[in-house]
Amino acid sequence: VPFRIPKGTYATSRKFTLTDDFSIIADRGARIKYIGDPVIDTLIDIDFTGGAPGGFAHGGDLRNLVIDGNGKATDGITLRGVVSGVFKAIRTTNVTRAGMRLAWAQLCLFESYECSNNIEVFTTTPVNGILVDTASSSANTFINPTIEHVSGQGLLGLSLINSLVLNGTIEGN
């Protein structure tokens, strides 16, 4: 049974860490907003590397959520060791480095991901919409992403292998 998040803004002073298969379905208009004082590395950290054999696990379903770093989160959402995750209608905003960071993701579906000053005015502009900067991420599918007006690259894939982008807009500066 999916965990449901009703429409509204939910303030947090801590990052969220998910370490095993999950299903979170938010109502449209649900927002997680960081309000803490220290800068954090990521607001939602999906890290399946700890408990699974081989350092990865299958699953993860996150839908219809706005992730707002409020200028104090380096990344909006980070994936580590995630295989076959589904991420639909996720928007990241007001982070300093990347809306979404893939530190190791494989066979994941990202549909209608948004990181755009045209959709929601940034108070803090991210450098990258999507950053793949550490271990190889492969065989991921991005459908209809909207990444616009970031200060660096829309999609910076330093180690992105055999992945597919269908439709959408990915622009950098």
Q: What is the reported pTM? A: 0.93
- The DSSP element (H or E) to which 37 belongs, if any, is none
User: Who's near 14: CB < 8 A, 6+ residues apart?
Assistant: 36, 40
Of 137, 131, 132, 66, the closest CA to residue 107 belongs to: 137
Q: What is the mean pLDDT of each run of 10 residues along the chain (173 residues)?
A: 93 94 95 95 93 75 97 96 96 96 94 94 94 86 95 88 90 77
Question: DSSP secondary structure string, 132-147?
Answer: E-SS-EES-EEES-EE
